[in-house]
Structure 1
């Protein structure tokens, strides 16, 4: 993400990714689930799309604690005051050297004063390794 932390305060995509990364890196599945709308659509590495906060919480509960995410290039958009989203290059890493580079796409919806994830999708990037 950008080196300027002020970017996150005005950009829904950067703001949400900052909170998402902190919860992911800290292995806090309950906090992860709260980043999503109650009816969120979620497509992680699993073969099926799931829906809802409980499915999101269960997914992140199964992620081992030695995993973290590095967020690279972020591109965002806004549609009015209630909808935003975008794409980010993310590399998931594990202590044993495991890596999984992905394109992450999010659709965000404003609820109250903050942004929640309405749709989440990762697309793994094939590497020669």
Structure 2
């Protein structure tokens, strides 16, 4: 069995870096819970698509998987560090946690949560 967390994040990074919003939305379950940079948790694939449509086209992500787990054959997840960047020098480091669910055809993200990394807390 491959590592579902690494598999999904490789696909997510490719779609994010290419600003392929439909491909990104397809990585999520239809009832996904999503907490990005915004103040509200949103639900569903359409909300995820709308979130990514608002991200500037020139942003990219550097992903380092920190920890992964599986629970049986249907649930997996883990933690990663992600640094978002653009060519103008903007940068944002986050901790990312995912819960994944195996659907008939692929692993999908059921829960996505980022927490901004601050120099002081």
Q: Scaled by the length of structure 2, what TM-score is found?
A: 0.96
1:61 alignment counterpart: 53
Runs (5+) with no aligned partner, structure 2: none
Indicate if the aligned counterparts of 1:14 and 1:74 stay in contact, CA closer than 8 A. Answer: no
Q: CA deviation at 1:127?
A: 2.5
Deviations along 1:68-127, one digit per CA (max 9) or x if unpaired, are: 000124310000000000000110111110110000000000001420000000000003
1:121 alignment counterpart: 113
2:43 alignment counterpart: 51
Q: CA deviation at 1:10?
A: 0.8
2:17 alignment counterpart: 25
Give the Cα separation in 1 of the matches to 2:84 and 2:100.
21
Give the Cα separation in 2 of the matches to 1:97 and 1:127.
18
Q: How does 1:1-129 map to 2 (within 5 A)?
A: 10-127=2-119
- Figure out how many residues of one structure are paired with residues of the other and give that number: 120
Indicate if the aligned counterparts of 2:32 and 2:110 stay in contact, CA closer than 8 A. Answer: yes
Question: How well do the aligned residues superpose, as a CA RMSD in angstroms?
Answer: 1.1
Q: Scaled by the length of structure 1, what TM-score is found?
A: 0.90
Structure 1's consecutive aligned runs of 4 or more residues displaced over 3 angstroms after TM superposition are none
Q: CA deviation at 1:65?
A: 0.6
Q: CA deviation at 1:14?
A: 0.0
Runs (5+) with no aligned partner, structure 1: 1-8
